[in-house]
Structure 1
Amino acid sequence: MAHNTALGAQGEELAAHYLRSAGMEIVCRNWRCRYGELDLIVRDGGTTAFVEVKTRSGIGFGIPAEAVTFQKRQRIRRLALLWLAEQEGPWRRIRFDVVSVLLPRGGEPVIDHLPAVF
């Protein structure tokens, strides 16, 4: 489990760097409440994006983004509403993104940003 935690943290760091390089502002990282966690919250122009980061070392179980199941998407939506309720609005535009990070052993990272994917 420690390996998976470290892999996930590395993937989130790479995803944050990638999104910043694309001109997005990181608003919050690893926001937690009793119902779960949001990986990244970013501002992309006038849009607030809730970003789920999935990291894998290989594709034996599918590409990382495939791990964002229907139940996971529902949880992220509920968590986003809780986060928004804590902030000062108004919130005109929001979206839900996935960043897929593939970290093959001995290879270069492959990062795929899927904006407004759910």
Structure 2
Amino acid sequence: MAAKNELGRHGEQLAVDYLEAEGMKIIERNWRCRYGEIDVIAEDGDTLVVVEVKTRSSRSHGTALEAVRPSKLTRLRMLAAKWLAGQPRTFHAVRVDVIALERFAGDYSLRHVRGAV
């Protein structure tokens, strides 16, 4: 379990580094409420971006992208609304993105799906 947690933490850091390199501002990481967790909350211009990061080291249970089911995307939209309800500012739009990372032979591949819902 520790190796899985470390893989996930490393994947999230790679995703944050990527998002920042793409010009996004990270607002919060690992935001939690009683309904669930958002891995990364970022700003892309005047758009709020809720990011699900999925990291895999094998495809025995499918790809990292396949692991993000429609039910998870629905939950992320609800969590975004919960997060926004506690914020003093507003955003022009809200987008849910998925960053899928796969590690094979020590190398990572990253796929960014904007507006995954």
Once the two structures are superposed, residues 72-101 of structure 1 have per-residue CA deviations (whole angstroms, 9 ceiling, x without a partner) of: 112111111100001112222110000001
Deviation at 1:68, TM superposition (A): 0.9
Cα distance between partner residues in 2 of 1:25 and 1:98: 16
Distance in 2 (CA, whole Å) between partners of 1:3 and 1:107 is: 14
Aligned to 2:95: 95
TM-score when scaled to structure 1?
0.93
Q: Please identify runs of 4+ aligned residues in structure 1 that moved more than 2 A.
A: none
CA distance in 1, matches of 2:48, 2:77: 13
> Could you tell me how far 1:61 is from its partner in structure 2?
1.9
User: Contact 2:73–2:116 at 8 Å: present in 1 too?
Assistant: no
Question: What is aligned with 2:12?
Answer: 12
Unpaired segments of 5 or more residues in structure 2? none
- TM-score normalized by the length of structure 2: 0.94
Paired amino acid for 2:40: L
**Superposition pairs of residues 30-109 of structure 1, within 5 angstroms:** 30-104=30-104, 106-109=105-108
Q: Distance in 1 between matches of 2:90 and 2:31?
A: 20
SS of the aligned residue for 2:107 comes to coil
- Measure the CA separation in 2 of the matches of 1:80 and 1:48: 9
Distance between the aligned counterparts of 2:90 and 2:3, measured in 1? 40
Structure 2 letter corresponding to 1:95: R
**Aligned-pair Cα RMSD in Å:** 1.1
Match for 1:113: what amino acid?
Answer: H
